[in-house]
């Protein structure tokens, strides 16, 4: 089974621009979560989608948004980029949303650099 | 809101030494507990998980962890580390409140194993 894939792997943008990152979950997984990883803040939860609905949201400004498509693929968008948005953005998929079994599988991430 | 604390930020060990990484969480309800590992240049991988049952769980590559509910702890152990265990280790908690797949991570422990 193919793992979680994320595209692109690397991105360089300038302040004020917007960016869209894509994530394809493991086949059969319907939940997709996004995390931001930085040296200073570590791994922080952004949001989670299940069946095209946002189920959870972390403490990030409204510039960060996402969506999920009917095939479970997900995109996240960051508008009006700031220098502090430079980070590794990780996508994770899982088979269930809640319950006793919610192991998440992570993709390789998209490295975003904002200049 | 739940939080996760990892006591050691940097650990340096010689090969064959024993390893114990501390992890404490703050949440009074039912939790799922995880240890993830991030090898240099690679994506997050699941080392082991605790959902219920035997509080001593065994994972990949000889790692194990013990869930002590009364201490809100989930410490990671390995009797004899290898150079290839050099990586960053993250403890994570997921709460079972129907809120979906939100993982709260600790700040990570950077382990360096010297030959």
The per-residue pLDDT for range A41-64, each reduced to its tens digit, is 899 999 999 889 998 889 999 999
Taking CA–CA distances from B32, the nearest residue in chain A reads: A100
Distances from the Cα of A91 to the Cαs of A33, A35, A37, B8, B76, in angstroms?
6, 6, 11, 26, 25
According to the model, what pLDDT value does residue B98 have?
A: 54
Question: Which residues of chain A are within 8 Å of residue B106 when distances are taken between CB atoms?
Answer: 42
What is the average pLDDT score of chain A? 92
Taking CA–CA distances from A42, the nearest residue in chain B reads: B107
Contact call for A100 and B108, based on CB within 8 A: no
Question: Which residues of chain B are within 8 Å of residue A108 when distances are taken between CB atoms?
Answer: 42-43
Nearest by CB to residue A108, choosing from B43, B46, B101, is B43
According to the model, what pLDDT value does residue B51 have?
A: 87
Beta bridge partners of residue B111, listed in sequence order: B11, B87
The per-residue pLDDT for range B26-81, each reduced to its tens digit, is 987 788 899 999 999 899 999 999 988 999 999 999 999 999 999 999 999 999 99
According to the model, what pLDDT value does residue A98 have?
A: 55
The per-residue pLDDT for range B76-110, each reduced to its tens digit, is 999 999 999 999 999 999 876 555 678 899 999 99
pLDDT tens digit at each of 115 positions of chain A: 689 999 999 999 999 999 999 999 999 999 999 999 998 889 999 999 988 999 888 999 999 999 999 999 999 999 999 999 999 999 999 887 555 567 889 999 999 999 9
8-state DSSP, A71: T
Q: Which residue spans within A8-109 are E strands per DSSP?
A: 10-13, 19-24, 31-38, 42-50, 53-57, 64-68, 74-78, 87-94, 105-106
- Nearest Cα neighbor of A35 from A89, A73, A86 is A89
Report the 10 Å Cβ neighbour count for B6. Answer: 20
According to the model, what pLDDT value does residue B23 have?
A: 96
8-state DSSP, A60: -
SS3 (DSSP) at B62: helix
Sign of CA dihedral B8, A101, B81, B19: positive
């Amino acid at each position: 089974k193919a793992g979680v894939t994320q595209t692109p792997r690397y991105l360089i943008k300038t302040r004020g621009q917007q960016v869209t990152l894509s994530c394809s979950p493991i086949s059969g997984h319907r939940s997709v979560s996004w995390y931001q990883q930085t040296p200073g803040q570590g791994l922080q939860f952004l949001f989670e989608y299940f069946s095209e609905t946002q189920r959870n949201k972390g403490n990030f400004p409204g510039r960060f948004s996402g969506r999920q498509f009917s095939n479970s693929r997900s995109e996240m968008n960051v508008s009006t980029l700031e220098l502090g948005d430079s980070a590794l953005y990780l996508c994770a998929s899982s088979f269930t949303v809640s319950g006793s079994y919610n192991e998440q599988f992570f993709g390789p991430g998209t490295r975003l650099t904002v200049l | 809101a739940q939080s996760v604390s990892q006591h050691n930020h940097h650990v340096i060990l010689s090969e064959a030494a024993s390893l114990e990484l501390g992890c404490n969480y703050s949440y009074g309800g039912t939790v799922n507990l995880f240890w993830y590992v991030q090898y240099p240049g690679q994506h997050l991988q699941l080392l082991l998980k605790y959902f219920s049952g035997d509080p001593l769980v065994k994972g990949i590559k000889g790692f194990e962890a013990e869930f002590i509910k009364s201490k809100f702890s989930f410490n990671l152990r390995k009797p004899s580390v290898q150079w290839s265990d050099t990586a960053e280790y993250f403890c994570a908690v997921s709460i079972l409140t129907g809120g979906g797949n939100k993982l709260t991570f600790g700040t990570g422990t950077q382990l360096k194993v010297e030959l």
